[in-house]
Amino acid sequence: MNTMKIISLIFCFFLLFSCSKSPKQKHMPSVPVIVSQAIIKDVPVQITAIGNVEAYSSVTIKSRVEGQLIKANFKEGDEVHKGQLLFVVDPKPFEEAVRQAEANLLRDKAQLEFARADLERYDELVKEELVSRQQYEKIRTTYESLKATVKADQAILENARLQLNYCYIYSPIDGKIGSLLVHPGNMIKANDTQIAIINQIVPIFVRFSVPEQELLRIRKAMSQGLLKTEVVVKGTDTSYTAQGKVVFIDNAVDVATGTVKLKAEFANKDKMLWPGQFVNVVLTLGVKKNAVVIPYRALQTGQKGQYVWVVKEDKTAEIREVTPGLRFGDDVVIEKGLNAGEIVVVDGQLRLTPGVKVEIKK
């Protein structure tokens, strides 16, 4: 009996405690966010691509004669100029060939002079019928033969002198020479052995590809004038930018990739662009006037598409579906869904829910 009384008292106490405890409303704390304002701005219409720098012209140096390379008149990596002496192939065998050709020419010229004098004498004798016509023709044939021999000797001498000149290899262009592929002392073959490579880097080309869908816009922009082209090289601590112009559009679309190749020319007077380098290329096709622009960081992607968080006047968050347009740098154009002057969240979106209070941080 006592046990039942105790249980009843405990149950009554529990009911009394439960009824006396009123539920408290939980206070939701404000979410700290960083915001930015949608603004009206003129935006450049641009196409971006990855490009590869290539030399304006590239020349592979080879010898036109066979022999021993005896001299390199530069240091690897030097700037060289058109007409500058670069290499010397041993000229001694060719100098000897020139002397021999000169001697043969002198010998045959002397014989030609003797044959000319002989022919003149026979001209008089044949007129007076003191020699036969057959003897005269023999003398005249000898003279004509020697005259042809002298011409052949002159050609041989000129060729020997030309071969001697080929022993001295000069730079055909202004540019930067690379490493030696053959060092002095080695034997080289005519028109075969590569000795060095010269790249002309002032000016310089950047080759890149764009989707074929952009070809119409690019050609339209080029028809209205030179297509402004910018190249951006990003380094560890800094970046480099240069202005150029499109000078070449390939005559066909690559069916394998669906892209078309373009080439832009840059002055490169500061020699910051280097053959083989990968760079970012930006083509500016025009300007979009009065566009609504927000930081790209504000743009989010959900199951229904892309959206932004908008901060209303009462400092509550609202989710807003938008249609983004062009992206340039750290900003993006909003084509639909947002008005100029509205406040969007650029940092802190992960903690937001519709209707939650926000605390705007600087």
Contacts of 138 (CB under 8 A, 6+ apart): none
**Same-domain check for residues 206 and 191:** no
- Is residue 9 one of the residues assigned to a domain? no
* 3-class DSSP assignment, residue 91: coil
**Same-domain check for residues 72 and 192:** yes
Percent of the chain with pLDDT over 70: 92
Q: What is the pLDDT of residue 303?
A: 87
- Is residue 96 one of the residues assigned to a domain? yes
- Is residue 154 one of the residues assigned to a domain? yes
Q: What is the pLDDT of residue 139?
A: 85
Q: What is the pLDDT of residue 16?
A: 45
Instruction: Verify cis geometry, omega within 30 degrees of 0, for the bond prior to 203.
Output: yes
- Is residue 341 one of the residues assigned to a domain? yes
Record the tokens describing residue 321, joined without a space.
Answer: 């579906």
**Same-domain check for residues 160 and 98:** yes
Q: Which of 149, 182, 197 is the last residue of a domain?
A: 197
pLDDT tens for 51-75 read: 999 999 999 999 999 999 999 999 9
CB 297 within 8 A of CB 76: no
Q: What is the pLDDT of residue 6?
A: 55
**Same-domain check for residues 77 and 96:** no
pLDDT tens for 209-220 read: 999 999 998 988
Q: What is the pLDDT of residue 19?
A: 46
- Is residue 2 one of the residues assigned to a domain? no
CATH code: domain of residue 75 = 2.40.50.100
- The pTM for the full model equals 0.70
> Burial letters for 214-233: b for 16+ Cβ neighbours within 10 Å, e otherwise?
bbeebeebeeeeebbbbbeb
**Same-domain check for residues 206 and 280:** yes
Q: Which residues span the domain enclosing 247? A: 48-55+201-288
**Same-domain check for residues 205 and 241:** yes
Record the tokens describing residue 168, joined without a space.
Answer: 């001295």
- How many independent structural domains does the chain possess? 4
CATH code: domain of residue 108 = 1.10.287.470
Q: Please report, in angstroms and rounded to a whole number, the separation of the first and last CA atoms in the chain.
A: 71
CB 33 within 8 A of CB 360: yes
- Is residue 1 one of the residues assigned to a domain? no
> Burial letters for 85-121: b for 16+ Cβ neighbours within 10 Å, e otherwise?
ebbbbebeebeebbeebeebbeebbebbeebeeebee
**Same-domain check for residues 105 and 155:** yes
Q: Which of 288, 317, 352 is the last residue of a domain?
A: 288
Which residues of the chain, if any, have pLDDT below 50? Answer: 1, 12-26
Of the candidates 318, 361, 306, the residue with the CA atom closest to the CA atom of residue 342: 318
What's the CA gap between 46 and 25, in Å, rounded? 53
Other C-beta atoms within 10 Å of 160: how many?
19
